[in-house]
Structure 1
């Protein structure tokens, strides 16, 4: 079951990679949520499936609280340069939510 789930998630990621023509790029596939805290077999199957299409792709876990992404998108839409604020946003948010 875990292998099947990983393969299915990998196929979905492959669909996006193909649509964006990123097969030959060093692309990061970001894993978000507690789903990926389970059995490593799922992540291994996902990685193997993705690397058949995009051998340079790598899986990374999201380390920032998900809300930070929304804040960054809002700041970018308002014209702010978020590069300098990125680390501070993550640290402050983790402190506020107790992570």
Structure 2
């Protein structure tokens, strides 16, 4: 639904990055392909949960000297309400891993925006992984030579962080230079309606697509759409 809600042509690729991440696509010929979406086990990295755990690893490396000092240390200690990195890691290793969760990913973006090179590196790594998966889907669906929309959906993209977007596009454009990125603002349910219309042989024109998604957004937000 998320892809169809954003892609006006009826084909393209969507990166969904929430707590976890998956990438899915529809080719010009109607073929579909998606990544497994099972996190590190299947190489689907770049969701909010991954970003937070990369931050934890960066703090551990900063403590041991393997990595550079980072402002993430102070921020994570504040969240966990512990005095130092040793106490943080001991608490996490005891099993209290829920004290740091996907909802803390915006902190990593904040620290990156402030110029912390370690946090910036985490955002780049997440973007590179998301972009690599999108490029792989483009290759599988034979979209590399065509213009297509890359829909960015999910909570990770609420940051609209330029470093994340730039890194994703750098990876995708290396395989598919005509990619056209866009943020998903319409609700995925609008995509479900459009998919039903496609299946019925009534694929809407782009202007109908735009009106449907706009009205669905207004309706679900509690507003009133124009008649």
The interval holding the TM-score normalised by the smaller chain is: 0.7 to 0.9
The residue aligned with 1:46 is 168
2:187 to 58, 65, 68: 65
Deviation at 1:88, TM superposition (A): 3.3
Residues 40 and 82 of structure 1: CA distance in aligned 2, closer, same or farther (over 3 Å): same
Asked if 1:18 corresponds to 2:125, the answer is no
Deviation at 1:2, TM superposition (A): 0.6
Contact 2:194 2:203 (8 Å CA) reproduced: no
Q: CA RMSD in A?
A: 1.9
Q: How many Å separate the matches in 1 of 2:209 and 2:129? A: 32
Deviation at 1:35, TM superposition (A): 1.3
In structure 2, stretches of 5+ residues that fail to align are 1-121
Contact 1:10 1:50 (8 Å CA) reproduced: yes
Q: How many Å separate the matches in 1 of 2:170 and 2:211? A: 34
The residue aligned with 1:76 is 198
Q: Which of 20-29 and 10-19 deviates more?
A: 20-29
Runs of 4+ in structure 1 off by over 3 angstroms are 78-81
In structure 1, stretches of 5+ residues that fail to align are none
Residues 12 and 97 of structure 1: CA distance in aligned 2, closer, same or farther (over 3 Å): same
Please identify the structure whose Cα radius of gyration is greater.
2
- Superposition TM-score, scaled by structure 2 size: 0.40
Q: How many Å separate the matches in 1 of 2:128 and 2:165? A: 9
- Superposition TM-score, scaled by structure 1 size: 0.83
Alignment coverage as a number of residue pairs? 99
